[in-house]
Amino acid sequence: MDTNEEQSTEKQKNNFSWHEFPFLFIKGFLMGSADIVPGVSGGTMALITGIYGRLINAIRSFDVSFIKRLFRLRLRIAFSGVTWKFLLSLILGMACSVLFFTKVVPLQVYMFTDPELVFGLFFGLIIGSVIVLTKKIEDFSWVHAIIIVIGMGIGFWIVTLVPSATPESPLFIFVSGSIAISAMILPGISGSYILLILRKYDLILSSIGQLGGAQTGEALLVLLPFGLGAVVGLALFSRLLSWLLERYEAKTLALLIGFLIGTLYVIWPYQDRTYKQIVTKEKVVNYQSPKVQQLLAASPDKKQPKYQQLGAIVPSDLNNGSKRVQLQTIKQKLIKSIPYIPYLTVEGSKTNHFSEGIWGMIVGLIMVVGLDYLRVKG
């Protein structure tokens, strides 16, 4: 073991103490909840809660030296030189958030049943955070104002791009992974939305769903280059952001604030949303089965991210003459979203949930106060 290397590593201070674990866990929980909502990134919550720079530096700490020490089995030195405890606290919070908002409180379902409330909450949260973050820029000048406007333009341009056809070669999938992961840690821009623009969102999700089945090999041909691209993109982009924050903190912060404002377009709670119904699963069942009778008695609730409906009648089985029918599982995919202003636009009649959107924004603004408190405590 190299003594100089060991001493150099020991001098690297890990600014983590276990008493801040609960605060970091909550911040990770908020980051995870943001990743579930289309158009919102975990980087947004990291910026709001005041750990963005620390997060970027923590990711950056896993460098080539760390990998070399792992291969040499110098585990103690390797992990003492990186901020793994900080990242572990956030990852645990994010994992619990995903489980909570998919199993206990299905946030994705509420995005269909009460979209005004959900998106209103995040809209208010981001508006409040923009105010708080702007106050952090010392000696605010016209230069920072111009940078914010530039950031707004870039953010708005990205979220209003129209998806176009793209190749499915391993190289392009690699590039898609690099760009998507970079967007995930960039406040205001959702990595899933970038994948949607690149027309690789469904490909990646379907490949994940194929793992463990007969098409595992085919899925790995997609996921491996995507994963490698994500690792490379995360390593390079985190270093670029870290360099910018170290040298041009105020200007970088102004640009990120601009991103937040520019991407509010997709978070505005009042939107005329158009969904595409995709048949993800189809099976033939007996016409007298309880599920079929339930669907015959009452139409399926289509204000859900996924629902079941009856398809075509299948010719009777010659052996027993039983009547059969197709049972289809339908997944709804958002393909278009047009914002409107309640009571002022042509779509003004669509304001049945107007108060829910207002209350969501108010709660989001109030939450910023608590988040700012966590930032100070953390």
Per-residue DSSP letters for 138-189? Answer: TT--HHHHHHHHHHHHHHHHHHTPPP------HHHHHHHHHHHHHHHTSTT-
Cα 288 to Cα 165: distance, rounded to the nearest angstrom? 44
Q: Are residues 295 and 246 in the same domain?
A: no
Are 31 and 191 in contact by the 8 Å Cβ rule? The answer is no
Specify the DSSP element, H or E, that contains 242.
helix 216-247
Q: Are residues 233 and 292 in the same domain?
A: no
> What's the confidence (pLDDT) of residue 12?
40
Q: Are residues 161 and 103 in the same domain?
A: yes
Q: Determine what percent of the chain is predicted with pLDDT higher than 90.
A: 7
Question: Helices 216-247 and 201-210: crossing angle, nearest 10°?
Answer: 130
The verdict on residue 347 lying in a domain is no
Q: Which residues contact 232 (CB under 8 A, 6 or more apart)?
A: 174, 178
Are 178 and 230 in contact by the 8 Å Cβ rule? The answer is yes
CB-based burial of residue 13 (10 Å sphere; 0-12 exposed, 13-18 middle, 19+ buried)? exposed
> What's the confidence (pLDDT) of residue 155?
82
Structural domain ending residue among the three candidates 239, 254, 269: 269
Q: Are residues 196 and 103 in the same domain?
A: yes
Are 282 and 329 in contact by the 8 Å Cβ rule? The answer is yes
Q: Are residues 196 and 330 in the same domain?
A: no
pTM, full prediction: 0.66
Q: Are residues 287 and 253 in the same domain?
A: no
Structural domain ending residue among the three candidates 210, 238, 269: 269
DSSP 11: T
Domain count within the chain = 2
User: Which of 230, 129, 222 has its CA nearest to residue 183?
Assistant: 230
Cα 51 to Cα 177: distance, rounded to the nearest angstrom? 24
Q: Are residues 316 and 301 in the same domain?
A: yes
The verdict on residue 323 lying in a domain is yes
* CA distances in angstroms from 187 to 45, 56, 190, listed in the order given: 8, 12, 8
**Would the pLDDT of 193 be above 80?**
no
What's the mean pLDDT in 158-173? 76
User: Which of 275, 281, 272, 279 has its CA nearest to residue 332?
Assistant: 275
> What's the confidence (pLDDT) of residue 226?
92
Q: Are residues 323 and 259 in the same domain?
A: no
Q: Are residues 195 and 244 in the same domain?
A: yes
DSSP symbols for 48-72: HTT-HHHHHHHHHTS-HHHHHHHHT
Q: Which of 119-128, 197-206, 249-258, 289-298 has the lowest mean pLDDT?
A: 197-206
pLDDT tens digits, one per residue of 69-118: 878 888 787 777 778 888 899 999 988 887 787 677 776 677 778 888 88
Beta partners for 308? 329
Q: Determine what percent of the chain is predicted with pLDDT higher than 70.
A: 81
Show the tokens assigned to 116. Answer: 């005004």
The verdict on residue 365 lying in a domain is no
Q: Which residues contact 7 (CB under 8 A, 6 or more apart)?
A: none
Domain that holds residue 51: 12-269
The verdict on residue 355 lying in a domain is no
